[in-house]
C-alpha cells in the first residue's frame, strides 16, 4: 500500500484507540485527582463492563442494536453500583490512605478477576456490533462502527466536561479535589463526593469497554493493558486536567498507530513507550499539569 | 529507631538468620525448597523496600532490575559459558548500571510521575527482552544448563541444584542483604533517607544533596534486586521475560506493604505470608485468587501498616 | 476432579505435620536436627499418583479446563480397565497460573510434597521451559502436552517427554506441501512476536521453499497488541496466501479486522486452529473465515470417516459432533490439542508396564522404558491416529489434518502422512546421565 493511505489507516486506528483510552483514563483521572487513590482495580471495572455487555446482549434477542443499547445503559450502572459498594466497604474504612488503598485495590483486582473466571469463564467472547457498515475507501475497507466509537466517545467526553464545569456537582467535585479539608469545612459532604467519584470513575471505564467490545471481545484478563495505558495518560496529561487527559490520550493513541508505520511492530512499541516516558522525564508535571502542591 | 541501643535489633536479626539456618534441617522437602525460593524473592522485596520504605519513592518498574540480574547472570552462563561467581557478578553489575541510568532519568520526577516513569521504563525493558529473542529466548525463556550450575572451589564443587546447597546459598544471600540493609538503615545515611521521605524540602534546606542521596538509594535498591534476580537464574535455572513483566513489579510492592514498609524484616514476612496464602488456599479451591484478594483486603483493613509495621506501632517500638 | 477429597486430606495432614515440626524445632531445641523426614514407599496396592500441572488461571485457562476434562476421562477409562500394573491411578491437580515461575514451584510441590510418581501436563511453552529444570533436578519424569518444539530441540533435559502430541516444527513442515500445491505460492505470514510465532517464522520459509513456494513477508505482532488493522498495509499486494497463527483472546478481533480490511476480495487464508480453540467458529465476525483452511491436530467436528476409537474417545470426553460440551453447545472444546492428554496418559501406562514400575525408585527405569518406545498404533488408546516415537529426542510424530471452514463447520479435506513431518534430530537426550 502507498504511504499516504497507510498513514491514514494508522491515524484512524490511533484515533479509535485514543477515543476509548480517553474515556477510561478520564475515569481513573477523576478517582486519582479527587480522591488521591491509585485504583489498581480500574482495569477490572473495564473488564466487568465488557463481560456484562456480553451477558446483557446475549440475554436480549432481536436486532443486535437492542442488546447493545441495553448493555450501554445497564453495564455501567451495574459496574457503578459494584464500585460504590467496594468504596463503602473498603476504601472508606481505610481513610483513603494511599498505600493501604493500593493493596486493597490489588485485592479487588484478584477478587473481580476470579469471579469473572468462575462465572464467565476463560474464553474470549464476542459481542455483535449494533450495525456493521463497512466504509469502502479507494485503498482499503474500514469499519463504520469504529468511526462511531470516536463520535460516541467525543460526546461522552463533552458531557462529562459540561457536568464538571457547569453544574453544582462538578463544582463540589472540583472543590474537593482542590482542597478536601477546606471543602469539608464549607459543608461539602466530602465522604459522599468520594463515593460518587469512585462510582463515576468505574462507570466511565465500563462505558469505554462496552463501546470497544464489539470490535474487541470480552475476556477476563482484558483489564491490564487499559489500566497501564490509562495511568500513563493521566500522568502525561497532568493530574486533574481534563484537557490534558484528552490530549495525552490522542497523543498516545496516535503515536502508537503512526510509529507502527515506520518500524517493525515490537520496535515501534519500544520507541513509542520510550518517547512518552521521556516526555514525562523532562516535564514531570505532565503536559497540562501545574507544578505539584 | 526509637531505641538507640543496637543490641536488640542485631540480636533479633541474627536470631532470624539462625532460625532459618536451623529450619533447613527440620523442614520437610517441599517447604525446604519453597523457603529457599522465598528467601531469594524476599531479597527482591528488601531491595524494593530500600527505596519505597525508606525513601518513600514508589516504583512500579522494579521488575527490570530483578530481570537485569536474571538475564545478566543467566545469559552469561548460557552464551558465554561463564562460571557461577562471574555470572553472578555480571548480573549484579547489570542491575547497578541499569539502576544508575534509570535513577538519573526517573529522579527528575517524583510522586505519581515517578511511579509511571519507572513503569514505562520497565515496559521498554520488557519489550526489548522480547525484541532480542534470539539471545534472550523471548517470552519462552531459556534454561540455564544444569551442568553449568556448580560452584567450584579448587577440587571441591557444589551443585547449586542440590537442595541443601541451594537453601544455604539463598540463606547466605538473604543474610548478607538483611544485615547490609540493617546497617544502612541504622547509619547516618539511612536517617538522611528517612528525612527525605518525611520532608524533602526541609532536608534540602538543611544542606543535604537530596538528589545524590536518592540516586544512591535507587542504585542500592536496584543492585539488591539484581542480586536476587541473578541468584534466581543460577539457583532455579530459568530466565524468561515473564519476570520482567509488570506483574513482577507489583509483587515486591505487595510483599513489602504486607510485611510492613520501612521494616527490615517486613519483606521476608510479606513474601512468606503471600506465598503460603497462595500455597494453602490453592490446595482447597481452584478459585484461590478470590481468597487471596479477600485476605489482602482484610489484612489492610486490620493491619494497615503491614504485619510488622503494625506490630512495631502497637508493641515493639524498637523494631528497625 | 474425583480426587479432590484425597487432596484435601493430604494438605490437612501436611499442615498439622508442619505445625508439629515447627513446634518441635522451637521447643525441643532441634532434637530432630538433621533428620529429613522420609516416608515409607507406597504399598503395591496404593494408587499411582500423577501430578497434573494445569492452566487453571492466567491466559491459558481455556485450555486448562479442557485438558482437565480429557485427563479425567482418560484416567477413568484406565482405572475402569484395571489401572496401571494393577494399581489405580490418582490425579492431583495444581494450578500453574500459566506462569513459568509458578510452574516450577508446582513441579517442586509434586516432587516433594505430594510425592507423585510423575508430573504431567501443560500447554504453554514458557511454562514447560520454566518447569523443566525443576523436573530434571528432582529426577521427576515430566510428560508435557505442549506441541512446542522445545522438547525435540533437546535443550531441556532427559526427564521431559512429549509423546502424545506432535511438535510445531513437524506440524509446519507437513503443512507446507499442501499450502504450496493448493493455496498459493506467495505467502505472507502473520504471527505473534513471541516464541510460538517464532517456530512458524523459522520453520515455514525453508519448508515452503522445498515445495517451490516462498514467504514474501513476515509480520510479527507484539504480544501486547489488541488491534491489528494498522499492520495490514504491510501485507504485500501480490500475496496469494495469508498464513496466520495469532493466538490469545484477541484473535477474533484479528479475523474481524482482516475481514473489514479486505472485504470479499481476499487472498487465501491458512491458519492454525490454535487461534480459535475454545471459540465457536460461528461467532459473529468470523463469517470472513468461510472457505479458509486450518491445521487441526485432531478434528473438532465429527467427520464421516471417524474411526470407532475416535467416536468412543469423543463420547468418553463428553464432546458432541460439533466439538462442544455435550449439553452446552456454547462450550467449545480445545479438540485440536486436548487429545494429547488422553494419548500421553496411555503412553505413560504403556511405559510404566514395560518398566515394571513400582514406585518413585523406578523413575529412571520409566525414563528408559519411555525412550524405548517406537510406535503407537491407532486405536482406543491413540484415537487421533498412528504415531511414531523418537526416544532420542523424546518426541512423537503423527498425522495432521487440514480442514476447510464450510457451512459453519470444519471439514477435514486432507490428512498428512507421518513421514511429512519427520526431520533430522537435533540432539540426543539418551546420552545425558539419569
Can you give the residue ranges of every domain in chain C? 4-28+46-166+339-396, 168-296+399-421
Q: How far apart are alpha carbons B189 and B195 in whole angstroms? A: 10
Nearest to A281 among B108, B119, B293 (CB): B108
The verdict on a CB contact (< 8 Å) between A114 and C57 is yes
Average pLDDT for residues C399-403, to the nearest whole number?
A: 96
The verdict on a CB contact (< 8 Å) between A216 and C227 is yes
User: pLDDT higher for C307 or B283?
Assistant: C307
Assign residue C161 a region (left: φ > 0; alpha: ψ between -120 and 50; beta: otherwise): beta
- Tell me phi and psi for residue C92, to 5 degrees: -115, 125
Q: How far apart are alpha carbons C8 and C12 in whole angstroms? A: 6
pLDDT category, C44, cuts 50, 70, 90? low
Q: B286 at the C interface (CB within 8 A)?
A: yes
- Cα separation values, C123 from A55, C129, C149, Å: 29, 11, 12
Q: B147 at the C interface (CB within 8 A)?
A: no
Q: How far apart are alpha carbons A221 and A114 in whole angstroms? A: 10
CATH superfamily placement of domain C168-296+399-421: Response regulator (3.40.50.2300)
Provide the residue count of chain A.
Answer: 293
Q: Which residues contact C74 (CB under 8 A, 6 or more apart)?
A: C316, C341, C342, C345, C346
Q: Return the partners of chain B (3 or more C-beta pairs < 8 Å).
A: A, C
Q: How far apart are alpha carbons C344 and C349 in whole angstroms? A: 9
pLDDT value for C406: 93
C-alpha cell recorded at residue C7: 487432596
Q: Which residues of B, range 248-267, sit inside 8 Å of A by Cβ?
A: 250, 253-254, 257-258, 261
pLDDT category, B4, cuts 50, 70, 90? low
The verdict on a CB contact (< 8 Å) between B133 and C24 is no
Q: Return the partners of chain A (3 or more C-beta pairs < 8 Å).
A: B, C
CA-based nearest residue to B92, from B221, B224, B216, B215? B224
Q: Which residue has the cell 546421565?
A: C433
CA dihedral B136, B141, B146, B149 (to 10 degrees): 50
CA dihedral A178, A180, A182, A188 (to 10 degrees): 110
- Report DSSP state, residue C419: G
Q: Which residues contact A227 (CB under 8 A, 6 or more apart)?
A: A28, A40, A42, A43, A46
**What share of chain A has pLDDT > 90, as a percent?**
39
SS3 B121: helix
**What is the value of ipTM here, to two decimals?**
0.86
Q: A93 at the B interface (CB within 8 A)?
A: yes
Model confidence pLDDT, tens digit, residues A10-29: 899 899 999 999 999 999 98
pLDDT value for C13: 36
pLDDT category, A168, cuts 50, 70, 90? confident
pLDDT value for B238: 93
Cβ–Cβ under 8 Å, residues C153 and C142? no
Task: Give the containing element (helix H, strand E) for B250.
Answer: helix B247-259
Q: Nearest C-alpha of chain B: how many angstroms from A232?
A: 6
**Angle between helices B210-236 and B63-80 in degrees, nearest 10:** 50
Q: How far apart are alpha carbons B57 and B222 in whole angstroms? A: 13
Q: How far apart are alpha carbons C155 and C148 in whole angstroms? A: 12
pLDDT value for C2: 38
Per-residue b/e over B231-256, b at no fewer than 16 CB within 10 Å? bbbbbbbbbbbbbbbbebbbbbbbbb
Residue A32 pLDDT exceeds 50 = yes
Average pLDDT for residues C260-265, to the nearest whole number?
A: 83
pLDDT value for B225: 98
Task: Give the containing element (helix H, strand E) for C252.
Answer: helix C251-262
Q: Which residue has the cell 488491534?
A: C227
The verdict on a CB contact (< 8 Å) between A219 and C249 is yes
Pairing of strands C241-244, B142-143: unpaired
Nearest to A122 among C61, C257, C260 (CB): C61
pLDDT value for C61: 87
Q: Nearest C-alpha of chain A: how many angstroms from C68?
A: 14
Residue C156 pLDDT exceeds 50 = yes
Q: How far apart are alpha carbons B25 and B15 in whole angstroms? A: 16
CATH superfamily placement of domain C4-28+46-166+339-396: Response regulator (3.40.50.2300)
User: pLDDT higher for C360 or A1?
Assistant: C360
Model confidence pLDDT, tens digit, residues A262-292: 887 788 888 888 988 898 898 888 777 664 4
Task: Give the containing element (helix H, strand E) for C218.
Answer: strand C214-221
Q: Nearest C-alpha of chain B: how many angstroms from A95?
A: 10
Q: How far apart are alpha carbons A151 and A161 in whole angstroms? A: 15
- Report DSSP state, residue A291: P
pLDDT category, C1, cuts 50, 70, 90? very low
Q: Nearest C-alpha of chain C: how many angstroms from A128?
A: 6
**Range with the largest mean pLDDT of A165-174, C12-21, C313-322:** C313-322
Rg (CA), chain B: 19
Calculate the average pLDDT of chain A. 88
Fold match between domain C4-28+46-166+339-396 and domain C168-296+399-421: yes
The verdict on a CB contact (< 8 Å) between C233 and A140 is yes
C-alpha cell recorded at residue B243: 519476570
Q: Which residues contact C235 (CB under 8 A, 6 or more apart)?
A: C188, C190, C217, C219, C242, C267
Model confidence pLDDT, tens digit, residues B122-169: 999 999 998 898 899 888 889 998 888 888 887 788 888 889 999 999
Residue C27 pLDDT exceeds 70 = no
Average pLDDT for residues B217-236, to the nearest whole number?
A: 97
Residue A293 pLDDT exceeds 80 = no
Model confidence pLDDT, tens digit, residues A104-132: 998 999 999 999 999 998 888 888 889 87
Q: How far apart are alpha carbons C335 and C352 in whole angstroms? A: 27
The beta strand positions in B123-236, using DSSP E, are: 142-143, 150-153, 156-159
Nearest to C230 among A9, A141, A266 (CB): A9
Model confidence pLDDT, tens digit, residues A49-79: 999 999 999 898 888 899 999 999 999 999 9
pLDDT value for B305: 85
Cβ–Cβ under 8 Å, residues C69 and C27? no
Q: Nearest C-alpha of chain B: how many angstroms from C83?
A: 25
Average pLDDT for residues C190-194, to the nearest whole number?
A: 85
Cβ–Cβ under 8 Å, residues C102 and C376? no
Per-residue b/e over A188-212, b at no fewer than 16 CB within 10 Å? bebeebbbbbbbbbbbbbbbbbbbb
What is the torsional sign of CA A247, A253, A256, A257? negative
Per-residue b/e over C132-145, b at no fewer than 16 CB within 10 Å? bbbbbbbebbbbbb
Residue spans per domain, chain A = 19-222
Average pLDDT for residues B52-63, to the nearest whole number?
A: 93
User: pLDDT higher for C25 or C132?
Assistant: C132
The verdict on a CB contact (< 8 Å) between B33 and C193 is no
- Report DSSP state, residue C384: T
Nearest to C224 among A220, A225, A260 (CB): A225
Count the helices and strands in chain A (H runs, E runs): 11, 2
Residue A252 pLDDT exceeds 90 = no
Q: Which residues of A, range 129-148, sit inside 8 Å of B by Cβ?
A: none
Q: How far apart are alpha carbons B292 and B274 in whole angstroms? A: 8
pLDDT value for A258: 84
Amino acid at each position: 500500500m502507498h504511504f499516504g493511505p497507510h498513514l491514514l489507516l494508522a491515524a484512524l486506528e490511533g484515533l479509535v484507540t485514543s477515543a476509548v483510552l480517553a474515556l477510561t483514563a478520564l475515569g481513573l483521572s477523576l478517582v486519582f485527582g479527587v480522591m488521591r487513590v491509585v485504583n489498581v482495580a480500574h482495569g477490572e471495572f473495564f473488564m466487568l463492563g465488557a463481560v456484562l455487555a456480553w451477558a446483557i446482549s446475549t440475554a436480549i434477542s432481536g436486532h443486535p442494536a437492542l442488546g447493545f443499547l441495553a448493555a450501554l445503559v445497564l453495564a455501567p450502572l451495574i459496574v457503578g453500583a459494584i464500585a460504590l459498594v467496594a468504596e463503602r466497604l473498603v476504601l472508606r474504612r481505610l481513610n483513603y490512605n494511599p498505600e493501604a488503598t493500593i493493596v486493597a485495590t490489588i485485592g479487588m483486582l484478584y477478587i473481580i478477576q476470579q469471579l469473572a473466571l468462575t462465572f464467565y469463564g476463560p474464553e474470549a467472547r464476542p459481542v455483535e456490533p449494533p450495525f456493521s457498515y463497512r466504509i469502502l475507501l479507494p485503498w482499503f475497507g474500514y469499519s463504520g462502527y469504529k468511526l462511531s466509537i470516536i463520535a460516541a466517545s467525543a460526546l461522552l467526553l463533552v458531557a462529562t466536561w459540561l457536568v464538571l464545569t457547569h453544574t453544582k456537582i462538578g463544582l463540589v467535585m472540583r472543590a474537593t479535589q482542590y482542597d478536601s479539608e477546606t471543602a469539608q469545612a464549607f459543608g461539602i459532604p466530602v465522604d459522599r463526593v468520594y463515593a460518587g467519584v469512585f462510582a463515576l470513575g468505574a462507570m466511565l471505564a465500563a462505558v469505554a469497554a462496552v463501546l470497544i467490545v464489539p470490535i474487541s471481545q470480552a475476556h477476563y484478563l482484558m483489564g491490564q493493558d487499559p489500566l497501564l495505558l490509562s495511568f500513563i495518560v493521566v500522568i502525561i496529561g497532568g493530574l486533574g486536567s481534563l484537557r490534558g487527559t484528552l490530549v495525552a490520550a490522542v497523543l498516545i493513541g496516535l503515536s502508537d498507530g503512526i510509529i507502527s508505520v515506520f518500524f517493525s511492530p515490537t520496535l515501534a512499541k519500544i520507541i513509542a513507550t520510550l518517547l512518552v516516558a521521556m516526555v514525562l522525564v523532562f516535564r514531570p508535571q505532565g503536559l497540562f499539569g501545574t507544578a505539584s502542591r | 529507631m526509637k531505641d538507640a541501643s543496637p543490641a536488640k535489633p542485631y540480636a533479633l536479626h541474627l536470631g532470624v538468620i539462625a532460625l532459618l539456618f536451623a529450619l533447613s534441617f527440620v523442614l520437610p522437602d517441599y517447604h525446604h525448597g519453597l523457603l529457599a525460593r522465598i528467601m531469594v524473592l524476599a531479597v527482591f522485596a528488601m531491595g524494593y523496600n530500600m527505596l519505597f520504605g525508606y525513601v518513600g519513592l514508589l516504583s512500579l518498574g522494579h521488575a527490570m532490575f530483578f530481570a537485569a540480574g536474571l538475564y545478566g547472570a543467566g545469559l552469561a552462563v548460557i552464551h558465554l559459558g561463564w562460571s557461577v561467581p562471574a555470572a553472578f557478578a555480571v548480573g549484579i553489575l547489570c542491575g547497578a548500571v541499569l539502576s544508575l541510568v534509570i535513577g538519573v532519568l526517573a529522579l527528575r520526577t517524583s510522586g505519581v510521575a515517578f511511579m509511571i516513569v519507572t513503569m514505562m521504563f520497565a515496559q521498554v525493558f520488557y519489550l526489548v527482552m522480547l525484541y532480542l529473542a534470539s539471545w534472550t529466548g523471548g517470552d519462552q525463556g531459556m534454561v540455564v544448563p544444569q551442568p553449568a550450575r556448580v560452584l567450584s572451589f579448587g577440587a571441591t564443587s557444589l551443585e547449586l541444584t542440590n537442595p541443601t546447597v541451594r537453601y544455604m546459598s539463598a540463606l547466605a544471600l538473604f543474610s548478607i542483604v538483611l544485615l547490609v540493609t540493617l546497617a544502612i538503615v541504622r547509619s547516618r545515611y539511612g536517617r538522611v533517607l528517612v528525612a527525605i521521605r518525611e520532608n524533602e524540602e526541609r532536608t534540602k534546606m538543611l544542606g543535604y544533596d537530596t538528589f545524590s542521596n536518592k540516586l544512591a538509594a535507587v542504585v542500592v535498591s536496584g543492585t539488591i534486586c539484581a542480586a536476587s534476580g541473578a541468584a534466581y537464574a543460577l539457583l532455579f535455572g530459568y530466565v524468561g521475560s515473564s519476570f520482567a513483566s509488570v506483574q513482577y513489579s507489583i509483587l515486591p510492592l505487595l510483599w513489602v506493604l504486607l510485611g510492613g514498609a520501612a521494616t527490615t524484616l517486613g519483606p521476608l514476612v510479606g513474601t512468606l505470608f503471600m506465598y503460603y496464602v497462595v500455597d494453602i488456599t490453592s490446595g482447597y479451591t481452584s478459585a484461590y485468587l478470590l481468597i487471596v484478594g479477600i485476605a489482602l483486603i482484610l489484612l489492610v483493613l486490620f493491619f494497615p501498616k503491614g504485619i510488622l509495621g503494625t506490630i512495631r506501632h502497637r508493641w515493639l517500638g524498637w523494631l528497625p | 476432579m474425583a480426587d479432590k477429597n484425597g487432596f484435601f486430606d493430604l494438605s490437612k495432614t501436611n499442615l498439622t505435620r508442619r505445625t508439629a515440626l515447627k513446634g518441635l524445632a522451637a521447643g525441643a531445641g532441634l532434637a530432630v536436627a538433621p533428620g529429613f523426614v522420609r516416608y515409607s514407599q507406597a504399598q503395591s496396592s496404593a494408587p499411582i499418583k500423577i501430578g497434573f500441572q494445569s492452566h487453571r488461571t492466567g491466559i491459558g485457562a481455556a485450555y486448562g479446563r479442557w485438558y482437565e476434562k480429557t485427563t479425567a476421562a482418560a484416567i477413568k477409562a484406565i482405572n475402569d480397565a484395571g489401572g496401571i500394573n494393577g494399581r489405580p491411578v490418582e490425579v492431583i491437580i495444581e494450578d500453574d497460573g500459566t506462569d513459568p515461575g509458578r510452574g516450577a514451584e508446582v513441579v517442586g510441590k509434586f516432587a516433594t510434597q505430594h510425592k507423585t510418581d510423575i508430573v504431567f501436563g501443560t500447554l504453554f511453552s514458557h511454562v514447560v521451559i520454566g518447569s523443566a529444570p525443576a523436573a530434571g533436578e528432582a529426577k521427576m519424569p515430566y510428560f508435557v502436552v505442549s506441541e512446542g518444539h522445545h522438547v525435540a530441540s533437546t535443550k531441556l533435559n532427559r526427564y521431559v517427554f512429549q509423546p502424545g502430541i506432535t511438535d510445531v516444527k513437524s506440524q509446519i513442515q507437513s503443512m507446507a506441501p499442501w499450502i504450496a500445491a493448493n493455496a498459493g505460492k506467495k505467502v505472507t505470514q502473520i504471527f505473534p512476536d513471541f516464541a510460538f510465532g517464532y517456530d512458524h517464522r523459522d520453520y515455514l520459509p525453508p519448508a515452503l521453499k522445498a515445495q517451490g513456494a516462498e514467504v514474501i513477508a513476515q509480520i510479527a505482532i507484539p504480544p501486547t497488541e489488541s488491534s491489528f488493522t494498522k499492520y495490514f498495509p504491510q501485507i504485500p499486494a501480490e500475496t496469494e496466501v495469508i498464513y496466520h497463527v495469532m493466538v490469545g483472546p484477541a484473535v477474533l478481533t484479528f479475523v474481524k479486522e482482516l475481514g473489514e480490511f479486505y472485504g470479499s476480495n481476499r487472498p487465501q487464508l491458512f491458519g492454525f486452529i490454535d487461534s480459535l480453540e475454545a471459540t465457536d467458529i460461528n461467532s459473529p465476525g468470523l463469517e470472513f473465515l468461510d472457505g479458509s483452511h486450518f491445521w487441526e491436530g485432531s478434528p473438532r467436528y465429527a467427520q464421516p470417516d471417524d474411526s470407532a476409537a475416535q467416536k468412543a474417545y469423543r463420547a468418553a470426553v463428553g464432546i458432541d459432533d460439533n466439538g462442544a460440551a455435550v449439553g452446552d453447545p456454547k462450550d467449545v472444546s480445545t479438540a485440536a490439542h486436548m487429545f494429547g492428554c488422553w494419548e500421553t496418559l496411555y503412553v505413560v501406562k504403556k511405559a510404566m508396564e514395560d518398566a515394571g514400575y513400582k514406585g518413585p525408585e523406578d523413575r529412571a527405569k520409566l525414563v528408559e522404558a519411555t525412550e524405548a518406545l517406537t510406535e503407537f498404533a491407532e486405536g482406543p488408546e491413540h484415537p487421533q491416529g498412528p504415531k511414531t516415537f523418537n526416544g532420542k529426542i523424546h518426541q512423537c510424530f503423527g498425522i495432521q489434518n487440514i480442514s476447510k471452514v464450510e457451512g459453519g463447520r470444519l471439514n477435514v479435506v486432507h490428512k498428512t502422512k507421518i513421514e511429512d513431518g519427520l526431520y533430522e534430530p537435533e540432539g540426543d537426550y539418551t546420552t545425558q546421565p539419569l
